[in-house]
Structure 1
Amino acid sequence: MLSWHEARAACAAVPALPAEDVPLAGADGRVLAEPLVTLTDLPAFPTSSVDGWAGRGEQPWRITGRVLAGYDPEPLAEDGTCVEIATGASVPDGVEAIVRVEDSTVADGHVTGSPRPARDWRDVGEEAAKGEVLIPAGSVVTPGVIGLAAHCGYTTLSVRARVRVAVLVFGDELLTDGLPGAGRVRDALGPQVPAWLDRLGASVEYIHGPVEDTLEAHVSALAAALERADVVCTTGGTMHGPVDHLHPALAELGGSYVVNTVKVRPGFPMLVAAMPGGKYVAGLPGNPQSAIVALMSLVQPLLAGLSGRPVSLPRVVLGAPVPGRGDYTHLALARLGEGGAVPLRHAGSAMLRGLAQADGFAVIPGGETGTPGHEVEFLPFPLLPGESTGGPSS
């Protein structure tokens, strides 16, 4: 049984998926396989920041022409002359000062005016020098990164292939609609696990279940899912009970454990297995909160490793006491607020109410308790663009 941090490190250490070149328009949300490096100085030529007059020598300046954006101008060779210049235009060689339109007076083909104390043009390389690393490999591509890449002259970016994921739901006791009763419960994981995976940046390709509680059905379902995905997430069957067939199914398909149970509460019967062909199976427990603990504990760093992304955890101040769980790491559902991270009620492994209200898990190390005012690691839930922490009120 690995510690929680050891298990996360093992999942994050898997080899990254191959890189591929994609057009800028299709790169949003992907992960850079190579650093974004400037292909030229930025700007590549001295660029006017204003509309005005670019001149040299003593005033008044005689107007000799006009320079617009998009053209390579002739040098300004004669003292006492100037050219009208537009914002974004290349500043001609020989220019000593630029006077803004609003600061100038024009009469009889000549210009007078006072330049501002700071020069009104951008020098070559002012933003970045050629060959400078702007964004490191492993960074998620955002619209801003796409714009910067275009600014540098890129038309494609080298990014990691998207991680394709399948979801298998195990359990004869599960209902896919209607009210629970007569010994059967609604499947609460089949609908939500794909949404978590989507937020974690995976491409959910296949969802199937409930899978019949037989070894033959488990082997067949896993084999079919592994043909479609890089990672298969299963729910339930991670123990060794009479209807828990995941372990023998993995053995029959040639799997070997990367992680097999983790010293964490809730959710310790979780696993990740490496399968032939560079594929993986992540086994999540059947209890709903335990399953999400396993998803965020193991699948999140597994997806990061396959995508070539680094894994790190922020720290937060606890706003209320959090009990320990003996020698096990305790992942406590918590909500973030002005007072820090506050643990939530309704946090049993089979409960979903607290999960629906939480911003993530406060990480209480084994052998410790959480003390108000102390800093702890925090495992945040992934957010949609524009979404903020602070879920529905209780």
Structure 2
Amino acid sequence: MTTGWTEARQVARDAAEPLEAITVDLGGALGLALAEHLPALVSLPLCDTSAMDGYAVRGTGPWQVIGRRLAGACTSGAALEPGQALEIATGAPIPLGTWAVLPVELSALEGSTVAGELPGKHHIRRRGEDIPRGRRVLQAGSVVTPAALGLAASVGYDVLRVHRRPRVRVVVSGDELLTTGLPTHGQVRDAIGPLLPGLITAAGGELLDTQFVADRAGALSESLACDDVDVVAVCGSTSVGPADHLRPVLGALKADVLVDGVACRPGHPQLLAALPDGRHVVGLPGNPFAALAAGHTLLAPLLHGLAGHSPKAPLTGRLRGAVTARATETRLVPAVRTDDALVPVGRDRAGNLWGAAMADVLAVVPPQWTGPEVEVLPL
């Protein structure tokens, strides 16, 4: 039974339990999802520090400069007495007794005496003002970005607990496919193999390899007999023609078919199945744009779930132009972003990637849509 587009994506996400957690150093965590919440191991700042280059002062000026302090160990040292100042760098611990930091650009130094009008701000960052010790700074399921790595380091982490990436094998079936050179009559260049690695990586997966198999049930069955991956993405062989063997092969393997066809265009003949050993099989259509649409419909949500990514609210935009909604199917329409709207680019037949290659997003046009708001899938 054909599944609605939104429901199919939810089924794919719900079918995925996050994979096991591993411990990696900070550099190895980039792009992975946190397996546990991240509390700060230290306060930021660790002690009261200067927010400016200038002079830590006590009392009213002018002030006698008694020394200099650069950023370093969190020690307050001797206290300032009234009328004293300490030249100080941004991030350096302020001495006890400091009233405020006089910014260097507001100061006038003459000999060992500094004068200036104190600003309204004290320019002092208090201990724990930015992040108190123990405060949760990132949630489990957050994808580790470059900024997250810097944050983790700043609050004391050397290693992180993350979910490993789901390993994916791509199996492209078709006697007519070429991987290099110019096709001749009856042949076509494979376009799906080159487009899937980027989609898989963006969704949190790791492409193990790409295999090309003939339109034979035995060849397809052999390609699924593996235990070194979490997901097998089969391209082609998902329809009901004489060369489409995926469903019978899955039946022989006693797979549980979770989605068998999705009410969307392009990409209707796609499927999702769970094998008895816990692996998943995603069937993608053989037409390139249909395969891309199906990849965003079933493969990407499945990989996000396996990788432990937290669900995110959908992105939306206003679609402008002559777009006709279908009565019962969702349309996935290539579009580009402008200042105020999404504009369809056309050239969106199932076998043609020209429109998708020109586009920024796929606009999700639901059945009986009357506009203008739509969900968008970034490309």
> Aligned with 1:190: secondary structure?
helix
Match of 1:206 in 2: 209
Residues 204 and 307 in structure 2, CA contact (< 8 A), matched pair in contact too: no
Q: How many residues align?
A: 375
Deviations for 1:117-153, whole angstroms, at most 9, x for unmatched residues?
2112211222122222333222222211111111111
- TM-score, structure 2 length as denominator? 0.91
Q: Would the aligned equivalents of 1:206 and 1:228 in 2 still touch at CA under 8 Å?
A: no
Q: In the superposition, relative to structure 1, how do residues 62 and 167 fare at CA in structure 2: closer, same or farther (>3 Å)?
A: same
Displacement after TM superposition at 1:6 (Å)? 0.8
AA of the residue aligned to 1:380: P
Question: Which residue of structure 2 aligns with residue 379 of structure 1?
Answer: 377
Residue number in structure 2 paired with 1:52: 54
Q: Using structure 1 for the length normalisation, give the TM-score.
A: 0.88
1:98-125 residue CA offsets vs partner (Å, 9 max, x unmatched) = 3334444556755443322211221122
Deviation at 1:295, TM superposition (A): 0.3
Residue aligned with 1:93, SS: coil
User: Aligned partners of 1:355, 1:62: CA distance in 2, in Å?
Assistant: 68
Unaligned runs of 5+ in 2: none
Q: CA RMSD in A?
A: 2.2
Could you say which residue in structure 2 is the equivalent of 1:219? 221
Deviation at 1:339, TM superposition (A): 5.5
Change (3 A) 1:77 1:369: closer
Paired amino acid for 2:196: V
Q: CA deviation at 1:361?
A: 1.9
Structure 2 counterparts to residues 85-234 of structure 1, below 5 A? 85-106=88-109, 109-209=112-212, 211-224=213-226, 227-234=227-234
Deviations 1:310-361, CA, capped at 9 Å, x for gaps: 1432111111121122211122222222452222332221222222222222
Query: For structure 1, which segment, 352-361 or 51-60, has the greater mean C-alpha deviation from structure 2 after superposition?
Result: 51-60
- Of the structure 1 ranges 42-51 and 289-298, higher mean CA displacement relative to structure 2 is found in 42-51
| Cα contact 1:51–1:100 (8 A) shared by 2 | yes
Unmatched runs of 5 consecutive residues or more in structure 1: 382-394
* Distance of 1:82 and 1:338 partners within structure 2: 52
1:33 aligns with 2:28: no
Tell me: CA distance 1:119–1:339, structure 2 relative to 1, closer, same or farther (3 Å): closer
Instruction: After TM superposition, give the deviation of residue 278 of structure 1 in Å.
Output: 2.7
Aligned to 2:323: 322
Distance 1:76 1:241, change over 3 A: same
| Paired position in structure 1 for 2:5 | 4
Q: CA deviation at 1:93?
A: 2.1
Change (3 A) 1:98 1:298: same
Partner of 1:17: 19
Counterpart of 1:158 in structure 2: which amino acid? R
Offset of residue 156 of structure 1: 1.6
Distance 1:50 1:263, change over 3 A: same
The match for 1:386 is none
